[in-house]
Amino acid sequence: MAEKQEEPSSAQNGEPDNAEEGEEKKKKKLKREDLPPFEIVTGERLPAIFFKFQFRNVEYSSGRNKTFLCYVVETQGRESVTSRGYLEDEHAAAHAEMAFFNTILPKCESSARYNVTWYVSSSPCVTCADRITETLKKNKNLRLTIMVGRLFMWEEPEMQAALKNMRAAGCKLRIMKPQDFEYVWQNFVEQEEGEEAKAFAPWEDIQENFQYYEEKLAEILH
């Protein structure tokens, strides 16, 4: 189970010296909490340390309480346009999948076709899976392929039903192969400034874990 990371308490940070300072601190905290709990980065790359931890296809994802979603959107209309970027969430309010539909692709023009590919650290939760299903049903000109590193709560019957509904709505759900992790590394992960691009270094159990999750997904979607 993912471990919840809590913000340090005021006692850990040191109490304010006076009431006025305390009031100022409250205002700052309110401002910070008003911000959406995800980060949108378009055309930039995620830090290598995040990729190596969050995308690792381990069986038990302890401590991995974020979802990283790298996307490629190919819009085919009067002109063909390709855009890419990544979203990151804290599993607090709007998850990365929701953020994509709310901010990156808020509407699908009927005159265009959209081929969207996601590379996600883990598969969507039930609520996000339902939103994906609804969106695909409403937008017949949207094609969505989701490549996931891990399956999220795949043993839960409700989760299995949600994944089946996604597939029935036309979503292609795949487990990331070692080559897919390498693709994300090359296209979405930032390299140290001034250094040559480093080759992707697969972790020891990457192939075995891919096969494990591929078997589980096949059982769910059979």
Catalytic residues: 97
What is the rounded radius of gyration, in angstroms, for the C-alpha atoms of the chain? 19
At 168, the amino acid letter reads: A
Cα–Cα distance between 184 and 51 in angstroms, integer?
9
CA–CA distances in Å: residue 194 to residues 47, 77, 187, 190, 191: 15, 39, 17, 12, 9
Contact 159, 185 (CB under 8 A): no
101: DSSP letter: I
Single out the residue of 44, 41, 127 nearest to residue 91, CA to CA.
127
